Amino acid sequence: QRLGFGAVAVLGRGLDRAYPRRHSRLMAELLHDGAAWSEYAPGVGPARHHFPERNRLIAGMVRAVVVVEA
């Protein structure tokens, strides 16, 4: 079953890697049916400090942000 909607993902790693690896099929569907954006070059894997940087980008792309835990 395909995603069926135009999802957008902002990734904390390069676009060429699924993380975790078991999400490879989901990543392929996302790239086919939606969009993915990353400020990291291909080949760059996930790292702990990438995720707060990614969150900064997500916060800048949306109309509102709800902080659940700080």
Question: Which residue bears the tokens 């990291």?
Answer: 40
What's the whole-number average pLDDT of the chain? 86
pTM for this entry: 0.72
What CA–CA distance (Å, rounded) separates 53 from 34? 22
Tell me which residue of 39, 51, 31, 35 sits closest to 14, measured CA to CA: 39
Tens of pLDDT, residue by residue over 7-38, are 888 999 999 988 899 999 988 888 888 888 99
User: Is 60 exceeded by the pLDDT of residue 54?
Assistant: yes
Q: For residues 63 and 70, which has the higher predicted lDDT (pLDDT)?
A: 63
Task: Please check whether residue 13 is in contact with residue 45, taking contact to mean a CB–CB distance below 8 angstroms.
Answer: yes
The answer, yes or no, to whether residue 52 has pLDDT greater than 70, is yes
CB 1 within 8 A of CB 49: no
Instruction: Check if the beta carbon of residue 23 is closer than 8 Å to that of residue 46.
Output: no
What pLDDT is recorded for position 40?
A: 95
